[in-house]
């Protein structure tokens, strides 16, 4: 399992200095719930539908093929990575 490290920007640190105890507790509880949900056994997948311009999808499929991953798996990985990215 890969553990991520959260790097905070100067703006994020400054904002956190003005948080009340209640805001901090809410944040920690939300973070805990998110972490638990990500560690829980996978739940049933949900089928989604979305429109994507053909050239973009074709390019994405081609790149996925180059890296040896099914393109839908790569989309799911990108979605998960987005949740944990550094929001500078």
- Judge whether 3 lies within some domain: no
pLDDT digits (tens, 9 = 90+) for 10-24: 888 888 888 888 988
Q: What is the pLDDT of residues 38-69, one digit of tens each?
A: 776 767 888 999 999 999 999 999 999 999 99
Print the domain residue range for 38. 10-84
pTM: 0.49
61 close to 71: Cβ distance less than 8 angstroms? yes
Asked, for residue 2, whether it belongs to a domain, the answer is no
Q: Give domain status of residue 71, yes or no.
A: yes
In angstroms, the CA 46 to CA 60 distance is 21
């Amino acid at each position: 399992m890969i553990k991520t490290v959260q790097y905070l920007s100067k703006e994020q640190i400054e904002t956190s200095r003005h948080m009340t105890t209640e805001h901090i507790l809410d944040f920690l509880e939300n973070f805990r719930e998110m972490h638990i949900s990500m560690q829980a056994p996978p739940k049933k997948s949900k089928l989604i539908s979305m429109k994507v311009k053909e050239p973009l999808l074709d390019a994405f499929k081609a790149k996925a093929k180059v890296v040896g991953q099914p393109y839908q798996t790569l989309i799911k990985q990108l979605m998960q990575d987005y949740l944990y990215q550094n929001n500078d």
